[in-house]
Chains A and B, each alone.
Chain A
Amino acid sequence: IFVQLETKFRREVTATSRHYVDRLFDPDPQKVLQGVIDMKNAVIGNNKQKANLIVLGAVPRLLYLLQQSSSSMELRTECAVVLGSLAMGTENNIKSLVDCHIIPALLQGLLSSDLIFIEACLRCLRTVFISPVTPVQLLYTDPTVIPHLMSLLSNSLRTQEYITQIFSHCCKTPEHQTILFNHGAIQNIAPLLISPSYKVRMQALKCFSVLAYENTQVSMTLVNVLVDGELLTQVFVKMMQRDQPIEMQLTAAKCLTYMCRASAIRTDDSCIVLKTLPCLVRMCSKEHLLEERVEGAETLAYLMEPDVELQRIASTTDHLVAMLADYFKYPSSVSAITDIKRLDHDLKHAHELRQAAFKLYASLGSNDEDIRKKITETENMMDRIVSGLSESSIKVRLAAVRCLHSLSRSVQQLRTSFHDHAVWKPLMKLLQNAPDEVLVMASSTLCNLLLEFSPSKEPILESGVIELLCSLTQSDSPALRVNGIWALMNMAFQADQKVKVEIVRCLGTEQLFRLLSDPDTNVLMKTLGLLRNLLSTRPHIDQIMSSHGKQIMQAVTLILEAEHSIEVKEQTLCILANIADGNTAKDLIMTNDDMLQKIKYYMGHSNVKLQLAATFCVSNLIWNEEDGSQERQDKLREMGFVDILHKLTQSSDPNLSDRAKTALQQYLA
């Protein structure tokens, strides 16, 4: 019976809705107008009614009436109002409206000369555009739209509010920023910052924050803008005053942050140090809404990321480090029991809060050792990072690993808390399958954990990390290749023979040589670094050279012959010097006259670093106490090395002349 009743009820509702739609087709325009007005009153606040009307096809008819020039202005305005009301409903409503091409129709309506009608169209457009389901691009398809909107800005407070709101929601890419900028967004919107209407001020401010974000051109222009004789930065500073609404303070702080990051304002400018930074720290405090705290923390992290002085100031401002610990306490145990609504709210924001806190910790600790210490000493900090690394939310995982990475720059933390909490375990797990952005951070952190003094190095080695790192070196992303080879390089530093052999085996000479011709200089440098670390201590040198000598010598030749930076060549010559230090490996150089000529060439190079490295090499070759040193000395004398060494003793560089003298002494003995 109940089901029947409900169906019957629904049928009745549909019937009344149909009646509304039918009236739109009445031949008498006066009755149509009355019908639209009645419809307007019927749909306000009634989502079901809205959905019904959309299903019954009211939208195309309303749009038709709205566009018809024969319709009276009053009718067209009422149509726009009803459409605006329909847009206020669910996301599905918006989708249906957009599908009916409501946007071009309303944009067309803006060409009217009737302000009331324009305002109604703008209100509806605003509601449609601020919805996440509307494609932003629709605002930019017709190139005449933006200039027209700019020209409408002066018409009324309402047009100002709606247009600036549309802009701030539809400016998502650098291209959008440029379009708006080129159409005079700054000059047109700046005066609105001192509008008598709070809503207009607020929306104008939001516009500036999206326009300035990572945009040097906009930011550089903004610093010189005057509003009523006052610099824009000062207007923003005033908007950050503590008696202003939080939303306004926060958005003004964002504007200044973006301008600062775009290098339009110095980081030591008082409006940043004494106003923006304290304002953002305040936003992180417990008394604010969760959304505000998230936004405040993220903006602050972004502001101070590149500047250690700002990090130091923030770390002592208002107990920020301790304040952030509170971000991990959601949902709180209290909210679970007492209030379902609050629990829901807390749950929704819990991830956001945690990732924002991790980001801010990462930013705070990126340079200063004392701050890192303070962070790790915060209650349960390491545990929180460890559990953050394995959270379901990718955003939290990424932020947690960023935080870990920032802290891993501390020798002390690597030795203590990192080991105590076995952070390598979740980190290794994270590396197994993660999106690239997480992998970059995680592998970068791993590099630090594999440093020689890190107590985590051993257990990581045992967990089969070599294979993982070798596979990273084959990645398409240069960042991942660098991190993979970098980690291997760190691992090979003063490592056991066993580890070195394992690295070479696992990586394979082929891959090693591929990396030596990598287009990314960083990758090449780290690969050379790996080779150098592999080729240290005599037995290791001889062993590796005996099995891979030919290929290595080839690679060295190739690099020395190719166009490379001084650093690369220096590193390569150092490898050669290491080879020259081996017992049997020496012969690979001594028998290679071409290589000896190259060494000679570099001894006479204009760059002291290269001269030094080449001299090192020679010095190793002629070292006295080793077998066959006499022969090598003779050969090199014949080749004219002694003359060069004599010349080098006169060098103005004390290191080089010392090194040359030491080498010559080998001949005297």
Chain B
Amino acid sequence: MVVSTWTLQQEGLGFKSSLSCLSCSLHVLSVSLWVPSEYSGFHPKKWIGWSKCGSGLLLTSQFTKTRVVAMSGQSSGGGFLMSVVVHGDSALNEQEKELNQRLRRLYPAVNENETPLPRSWSPKDKFSYIGLSQNNLRVHYKGHGKTPKDAASVRATHPIPAACGVYYFEVKIISKGRDGYMGIGLSAQGVNMNRLPGWDKHSYGYHGDDGHSFCSSGTGQPYGPTFTTGDVIGCCVNLINNTCFYTKNGHSLGIAFTDLPPNLYPTVGLQTPGEVVDANFGQHPFVFDIEDYMREWRTKIQAQIDRFPIGEREGEWQSMIQKMVASYLVHHSYCATAEAFAKSTDQAVHEELASIKNRQKIQKLVLSGRMGEAIETTQQLYPNLLERNPDLLFMLKVRQFIEMVNGTDSEVRCLGGRSPKSQDSYPGSPRPFSSPSHKASSSQPYLTGTVQHYSHHSQCENFTYLWGEKRQEANKRGNFFLSSPDLSTNIHQLTDTISTPMFESFLVSSLSNDVDMEVDHFTNGVTESSSNGFLNGTSKHTTEPDDCDVESAQSKRQLCGGSQAAIERMIHFGRELQSMSEHLRRECGKNSANKKMLKDAFSLLAYSDPWNSPVGYQLDAIQREPVCSTLNSAILETHNLPKQPPLAQAVGQAAQCLAMMARTGSGSCAFASVDDYLH
């Protein structure tokens, strides 16, 4: 392909990483077409529709909240269990941690906010003859066990998510009891629990006494060997071809069931006294090498994508790729490269060179944190643009405020004593697609329907009442968080005159801050809820900054570059911002996104070391990207150009497509992560 051999020209903005991904756009598009047949009828507009609601809005995370609820529910449920007493909390947490790690590694495509993975047997979804212990992992029979009418089953807490692709759990036979009538398998929700798995419709089982498999029928088929005390039986569901096979002591026994329905629960059934089995949903390493089996399927799926037939007409595919590349270059204002590329591939550029250069100039300013200049330049070059987009202007101003705190904005730089050299040179390319170190945040601009939520809870407002006493207390202890006592007094004097409650409250809290607050932030805030734009928060929660950032953060960074004049300017600017916010609210009505944006920005002042605070991520240079991208899109829109490059749209579409596949039960989505194709 021509694209991949294209030699890059160096420009002010590095873009190597972003181009290398283009060589893969072929795969990306084939991913987006890789949908089960019943969905191929979707009109493309439907996909594009998602792109409307995204760009740059910050919403609170619903997912975070549900997650917290789910977790607290679990731990309270486990509180009275024996094993807690035996192992103690730390061991339990260790096991929990290991479980989470293993599940994440095995099923990276599963979004547990939407479809939680089974982690134990359900104390609610079982027949009364079943007893649970050991964290709801051990199952024992407590009925009479006289006839098959005494059979009893238990289901896992959740059904198997399709996005697993391949799902696996193991059951160890602790005791075969009187007759060893144990059944291991799967069943749908609502299937009678007074039975062994496999006997009823939508129920499937492998029985220990005769080694038969039961496929929704009272009579079994010869399937595998019998199993008894000490054996480890595994059950693997392949959600790509909807089959299931079992393993015994690490050996695959071959396909047991085909044409399985979706949303099955891991299920075990027992029938005679003394029968005891333990489940392993990932708490421990599996006896069978399931990861090897997954590797095979990953290879199969990826081969299928690679071999996806592209258009029949000669050259059509290539020219489409070239168009995508060209439009991408133009969009991000790589004008020299775009020109060279267009020339060598014989394409027309739909925007004047001067215009591209203008956008490039503004982008450079934003990306180097010089927001004041960026706003000014925008107003010069594109008069009326910001007037017509007050929300955009507000966003830019908030960013300017953040850059002031950072000490990088032009207005404070000229005041500041600190040389911001290491700060203003932007470390890399705009990274519009996920780059390894910034997975969570960098993908945002194109992602449309997905939201970035470093949710910052509203506790902050509670600090207002602490104003009086806390402040004195803090003063007494000399426990100031700002670098100099003089400065903090200064701020107090300033804030005394401010009547705007929100900004004030932050200034207040900057003095009355206590440990509790920080803890709150860490547990409920940033660490939990950062989300990946492409996959709705399922992938790695990486919010760690680059190494170089950490370093510079540790070497003393000072508020506004350490200059008092700059701080004064910043505080003044903060007041302006506050009043602008109020003005906006009066004019355009409430806007929760704006409100939150402002609150998050102001929160920076609540910490002695904003860079290392839970809201410190805002100071990261990577956060300039969404702002830059939103501004760029707005400019392009005024020129009637697409506000997103088609390439980014294709990537976004592919990601949405995968999410859709996960929801509709197509397991192959597990092995076709978009990230794999963005090198």
Contacts and interface: CB of A to CB of B under 8 A. Distances in A.
A243 B303 CA distance: 11
A242 B250 CA distance: 15
Contacts of A242: 292-293, 295-296, 299
A108 interface: no
A243 B251 contact: no
B364 interface: no
Contacts of B252: 278, 317-318
B253 interface: yes
A537 interface: no
Contact of B295 (A241, A274, A316): A241
Nearest to B255: A319
B296 A243 contact: yes
Nearest to A374: B222
B292 A316 contact: no
Contacts of A316: 224-225, 248, 251, 253
Interface string B265-300: 000000000000000000000000100110110110
B254 A243 contact: no
A274 B299 contact: no
Interface in A295-326: 313, 316-319, 323
A319 B293 CA distance: 17
Interface in B201-250: 224-225, 248, 250
A241 B254 contact: no
A38 B299 CA distance: 44
Nearest to B256: A319
A323 B255 CA distance: 12
Given A243-B298, A243-B299, A313 B292 contact: no
B295 A318 contact: no
Contacts of B253: 316-319
Nearest to B223: A319
Interface in B508-547: none
Contacts of B250: 274
Contacts of A313: 251
A575 B557 CA distance: 106
Contacts of A319: 253-255
A313 B231 CA distance: 13
Nearest to B248: A316
A274 B234 CA distance: 14
A87 B19 CA distance: 45
B279 to A, nearest CB: 22
Nearest to A277: B251
A317 B251 CA distance: 6
Interface in A592-640: none
Interface in A257-277: 274
A313 B252 CA distance: 10
Interface string A216-259: 00000000000000000000000001110000000000000000
A316 B250 CA distance: 12
A215 B252 CA distance: 31
B292 A241 contact: yes
A318 B289 contact: no
Contacts of A243: 295-296, 298-299
B469 to A, nearest CB: 64
A642 B299 CA distance: 85
A317 B298 CA distance: 23
A274 B225 CA distance: 17
A235 to B, nearest CB: 16
Contacts of B299: 242-243
A317 B292 CA distance: 16
Nearest to A322: B254
Which of B224, B250, B251, B296 has most A Cβ within 10 Å?
B251
A276 to B, nearest CB: 12
A659 B62 CA distance: 93
Contact of A317 (B254, B289, B296): B254
Nearest to A316: B225
Contacts of B292: 241-242
Contacts of A323: 254
A659 B252 CA distance: 56
A604 B318 CA distance: 100
Contacts of A241: 292, 295
A317 B253 CA distance: 5
A347 B299 CA distance: 31
Nearest to A320: B254
A316 B233 CA distance: 13
Nearest to A279: B292
Which of A243, A313, A317, A323 has most B Cβ within 10 Å?
A243
A243 B299 CA distance: 6
A557 B74 CA distance: 89
A375 to B, nearest CB: 14
A27 to B, nearest CB: 45
Contact of A274 (B224, B248, B289, B296): B289
A316 B225 CA distance: 7
A85 B432 CA distance: 51
Nearest to A314: B251
A295 B273 CA distance: 48
Nearest to B296: A242
B645 to A, nearest CB: 34
Contacts of A278: 251-252
Nearest to A274: B250
A316 B247 CA distance: 10
B203 to A, nearest CB: 22
Contacts of B254: 317-319, 323
Contacts of A318: 252-254
A319 B254 CA distance: 6
Interface in B9-27: none
Contacts of B289: 274
Nearest to A319: B254
A282 to B, nearest CB: 9
B457 to A, nearest CB: 44
A136 to B, nearest CB: 36
Nearest to A270: B250
Interface in A311-346: 313, 316-319, 323
A274 B224 CA distance: 18
Contacts of B225: 316
A278 B289 CA distance: 11
Nearest to A312: B225
Contacts of A317: 251-254
A444 B119 CA distance: 57
A278 B247 CA distance: 12
A319 B295 CA distance: 22
A319 B223 CA distance: 8
A305 to B, nearest CB: 19
A124 to B, nearest CB: 33
A242 B253 CA distance: 17
B673 to A, nearest CB: 16
A438 to B, nearest CB: 34
Contacts of B295: 241-243
B16 to A, nearest CB: 23
A242 B303 CA distance: 14
Nearest to B251: A317
A304 to B, nearest CB: 13
A451 to B, nearest CB: 30
A313 B250 CA distance: 10
Contacts of B251: 274, 278, 313, 316-317
Interface in A451-503: none
Nearest to B293: A242
Nearest to B288: A274
A374 to B, nearest CB: 9
Which of B224, B250, B254 has most A Cβ within 10 Å?
B254
A323 B253 CA distance: 12
11 contacts: A241-B295, A242-B292, A242-B295, A243-B295, A243-B296, A274-B250, A278-B251, A313-B251, A316-B253, A317-B251, A317-B252
* Closest A-B pairs by Cβ, 3 of them: A242-B296, A319-B254, A243-B295
Given A274-B251, A317-B252, A318-B253, 4 more contacts: A242-B295, A274-B250, A316-B248, A319-B255
